[in-house]
Amino acid sequence: MRILQLTKKFPFPRKDGEAWAVLALAEGLVKAGAIIDLFSISSDNDHSEHESIEGLKRLSIYNQIRLVEADTSPNKVKALINLFGGKSYHQERYELKSVSDELAAFSKGKEYDYVIAETVYMMPFALAYGDAARVILRAHNIEHLIWRRYASRKGFLKAKYFKLQSERLMKYELEMMGKADAILPLSHHDDNLIRDGLLIKTKSQVVPIGMDVMGPLTKDEDGLPLIIGFIGSLDWRPNAEGIKWFIEEVWPLVFKSDRAVRFMIAGRPGGDTELFKSVDGVAVVGEVEDSDQFIRALDIMVAPILSGSGTRVKILQSLSIGIPVVATTLAMEGLELRDKKEIMVADDPSEWAMAIDELDKNTELWQSMSKGGQSYLKSNHDLISIGSAVKSFISDI
């Protein structure tokens, strides 16, 4: 089975959920016997990190790799001009003839059984293969839903703009889903939205993100400060919005004069990053080379997500390491996790403060949730099992 995997960003280093999802699927399929080529767009000229030992190990799963430089970053002027067109601005950012030409050159003389488009934005490139290969859409999110939810939390003008973008993106998303030979959503929640909400008839199968589980952890009882953490790109609006809310509404209830506690924020800067640096007890560390190492140093991971869509990979990553997570109901959307068993669920500030306090003071609960999260991953996110299931599913298309 020969597969071409198309991505809109280079998946290493694994600094965000999309990169984790891309590499996890590839690893699972290769372990199941598939041969995979990677074609990736990149707007970052520095790829030295993928030459590290871990990078070489991770990327060795691919038969061939082609990386194409292209600027897909958001541009305020282009976003404004987009208002006078009919397409979603998110769609327009990836309509690049130079990328199409590079893909044609890379694929010349090669035959693939399947082309996997990682996110709806890579579908036009996949569809260029016509009947030469089956086209699989990997739906990381319900894209238009992200912006619809975001619009609902904004002022009048921004709400109008993002609502328009959501409506245009929905039209595009429906078209691409209808043209795919199969869809691989990341969760049953998204699969139900695709089938029942959007009435898409394309064959689909839920493919969770595979995750290796590390050894068991023991809660430190050394009198050191409680370390709470968040990791994620703050140039992604739902992340920036969630952290701003956490610092303004929850942190004052957690950070008290008689309590030794720190809040560590890691990830690509954006939003109100500079303002966060001036808040007592908060440390903004920026991008970290090893996200596992950052998470392992925490006592509690938080996921205060208020908008957006899709599976939060950093929740899975934290659970794999054994660090308990406190998250909003929306943040755990698509994950069948149980409150106070594998995760702590909190939505208003007082619930958040109580959940953090309980994990801090109740060692037995912390230990139980650490083990519970790892057990959940072993049962639902095993790399080899997922890879074999995907290979079997697409073989019947």
- Round to whole Å and give the CA distance between 24 and 18: 10
Same domain, 188 and 308: no
What's the pLDDT score for residue 158? 84
- Round to whole Å and give the CA distance between 65 and 186: 24
Same domain, 126 and 174: yes
Residue with the bigger pLDDT between 222 and 362: it is 362
Same domain, 29 and 177: yes
Is position 333 within any domain? Answer: yes
Same domain, 387 and 370: no
Same domain, 125 and 139: yes
**Domain that includes residue 262, residue range:** 226-380
Is position 217 within any domain? Answer: no
Same domain, 138 and 24: yes
CB atoms within 10 A of CB 288: 16
Asked if 299 and 355 count as a contact pair (C-beta separation under 8 A), the reply is: no
**For residue 256, how many C-alpha atoms fall within 13 Å in the half-sphere facing its CB?**
6
| Paired tokens of 328 | 């909003």
Is position 216 within any domain? Answer: no
Q: What confidence tens digit (pLDDT) does each residue in 149-166 have?
A: 877 777 788 889 889 999
In this prediction the pTM is 0.82
Q: What confidence tens digit (pLDDT) does each residue in 57-100 have?
A: 567 899 999 999 999 988 899 999 999 999 999 899 999 999 99
Same domain, 389 and 374: no
Q: What is the tally of structural domains in the chain?
A: 2
Same domain, 242 and 274: yes
Is position 215 within any domain? Answer: no
The model's confidence at residue 17, banded by pLDDT at 50, 70 and 90, is confident
Is position 205 within any domain? Answer: yes
Q: What confidence tens digit (pLDDT) does each residue in 262-289 have?
A: 999 998 888 777 888 889 999 999 988 8
Same domain, 110 and 136: yes
Residue 309's CATH number: 3.40.50.2000
Is position 111 within any domain? Answer: yes
Same domain, 276 and 358: yes
Is position 158 within any domain? Answer: yes
Segment 21-41 shows an average pLDDT of: 94
Same domain, 94 and 158: yes
Is position 220 within any domain? Answer: no
